[in-house]
Structure 1
Amino acid sequence: MAGWIDYWPQVGRPLSERARTAAGSGGGHFYGPEDSRPGAWMCEAIAVEASADRPLRVRAQTSASPFDGEPTIGVLEVDLGLPWTGRDDGEPLRLGDLPVDRCGMVLGDARALDRFTGLDGESTNGLADVTYWGKYEDTVHAQFGGDRIPQHHSGHGPRGWLDLPLAEAEAVAERLRTWTREGPGNGLIVAVDAHTDLHRFRRASWSHPLLAGVVDLGGCPVLGLDWDPGDHSMRHHGERAYGQVYPATLEARVGEAVLRWTIPPYDPELDGRT
């Protein structure tokens, strides 16, 4: 869960150490303090062993979003590059379950993820992006400029500036906020996104139909998976607190081990919030 990676050091051993323990016992689900149960709004992860001499091959099957009908991830499969050593009958091994983090999910080597900078992290390169949107967007654009920044393959997105030095980005944002306070008042939202690893993968996903993007962490590629806010609100909102969790299994495919995460198609009759 991408939004909680910064919290692993606060709840116990580092992510990589917890992952090594879980993977060494055949794979498993770990979370929060080690003497706890999975809880709402807490860090969680699934860990398994994988080949160290090749990139992981990742596939996705899709289902239609109840929000806009666009394809969303229904099944995620990861070829682990190792022979199947599970049950002789080939039946899947249940590892646990995970919610869909509103901030996205990440898949990669746990040692690399120890250095992943999340929501509260600092810019990895001293740069930041500034975006703005809202009621007075057109007026602000006429006075201050700013390019349209598509944040989805549909081409929609706010206006703003990419790749500004952090201090300059803060100054630009403050000019827009000052204009709003001294002028029309509420009606413009301004955001400054430092180039954390979380923001870098979300930005890399903007042009992908499934909002998937890869970033480099110390020479190790890490895959990030984002979710459209509308789709998340209808299918995954409330996450573990509302029982919105999905099974992760270790399975055999042509004699090799595959990690599989399955998100069933949306069924409004099973959604207790509708």
Structure 2
Amino acid sequence: MSENFFDLGTVDAPSGVLVLGMAGGIDQWRKLGRPLSERARTAAAGGGGHLRDGLSEAVALPAAEDRPLKVRAVTSPSPFDEEPTIATLEVGLGLPWRETTVRSVPLGDLPVDRCGMVVGDAAGLDAWTGWDDEPADGLADVFYWGLYADEAHACFGGERIAQYGIDGPYGWLDLPVAEAAARAAELDAWCDRVHGKGLVSSVEEHTDLHRFQRAGWRHPLRVGAIEVGGCQVLGIDWDQGDHSIRHSGERAAGQTYPVTLAADEAGETVMRWTIPPYDFDDE
């Protein structure tokens, strides 16, 4: 298994509390009541635990405040395209293992969020912006694709935007939000006038949810590092084909995977989220 080990980067936890959570719901905690940091701090004070409110879920646990925390993963082949996907996510917490009678402690379980997962400082993530929030930099990206994309490109321009090792849609990056909306509207009006249908456009404002997905466009496991609330966090996007085959339905369909605290080879505490490899023999 060691030959499939990937170093994904590091995160900071200056508040002393680390969170692994569903990216699509990080911004919802404060809208549902108490901020994520308050809930996480309570769970971490008891050694770590699972948090759930509505469709938002996370685990929170104590971590060292004064050093980068290494994140790494073991992979297994996806049943969608046999490309590597995360089978075990491991985060070093920078703390000694204090248990004397057990080698691991269960913290609960988490589904794989279709929007991705986030690892980062609990207090820093209070500043997380989701789809409905305003981008801090006032910028957005525009994408367009479809049957008449090449014809639209000849009329309006734009660049091929590479994503995940392949040529992605046409579009423009880092435009002021108003300009991005105007370009998308122009594309839509042109298609309605000339063809009626056959072109799709999308405006993605620079929320943290979009920024981490964009940061992972060139990573083999779709991992991207961004700064949120003054802390470095890692976002892990998921291939939609792999998610549909393995994780679709999430908690409602029983698609959840255990999170544990454990001791590593050096006697340090790590968090592990374990997703069983797909059993190709059951096909």
What's 1:250 paired with? 261
Q: Cα 1:49–1:7, aligned 2, differ >3 Å: closer, same or farther? A: same
Q: Cα 1:156–1:235, aligned 2, differ >3 Å: closer, same or farther? A: farther
The answer to whether the 8 Å contact 2:223/2:237 transfers is: yes
What's 2:43 paired with? 22
Question: RMSD value over aligned CA atoms?
Answer: 1.3
* 1:145-176 CA-partner distances (Å, limit 9, x unpaired): 11010111x22311100001111101100000
Post-superposition shift, 1:6?
Answer: 1.9
AA aligned to 1:145 is: G
Post-superposition shift, 1:143?
Answer: 1.1
CA distance in 2 between counterparts of 1:180 and 1:238 reads: 35
Aligned residue-pair number: 261
The answer to whether the 8 Å contact 1:119/1:196 transfers is: yes
What's 1:72 paired with? 85
Q: Are 2:211 and 1:200 equivalent residues in the alignment?
A: yes
What's 1:85 paired with? 98
The answer to whether the 8 Å contact 2:142/2:204 transfers is: yes
Local SS of the residue matching 1:216: strand
TM-score w.r.t. length of structure 1: 0.92
What's 2:66 paired with? 53
CA distance in 2 between counterparts of 1:210 and 1:53 reads: 27
Post-superposition shift, 1:123?
Answer: 1.0
The answer to whether the 8 Å contact 2:126/2:229 transfers is: no
Q: Are 2:108 and 1:108 equivalent residues in the alignment?
A: no
Local SS of the residue matching 1:30: strand
Local SS of the residue matching 1:108: strand
Local SS of the residue matching 2:132: coil
What's 2:52 paired with? 31
CA distance in 2 between counterparts of 1:183 and 1:18 reads: 53
CA distance in 2 between counterparts of 1:18 and 1:238 reads: 26
Partner of residue 221 from structure 1, selected from 219, 232, 245: 232
Q: Are 2:28 and 1:7 equivalent residues in the alignment?
A: yes
CA distance in 2 between counterparts of 1:159 and 1:210 reads: 23
Q: Percent identity among equivalent residues?
A: 61
What's 1:147 paired with? 159
Q: Are 2:116 and 1:96 equivalent residues in the alignment?
A: no
Unaligned runs of 5+ in 1: 34-41
Post-superposition shift, 1:19?
Answer: 0.2
Q: Are 2:260 and 1:239 equivalent residues in the alignment?
A: no
What's 1:162 paired with? 173
Post-superposition shift, 1:194?
Answer: 0.4
TM-score w.r.t. length of structure 2: 0.89
CA distance in 1 between counterparts of 2:68 and 2:26 reads: 22
Unaligned runs of 5+ in 2: 1-21
Higher fraction of strand: 2
AA aligned to 2:260 is: T
AA aligned to 2:232 is: P
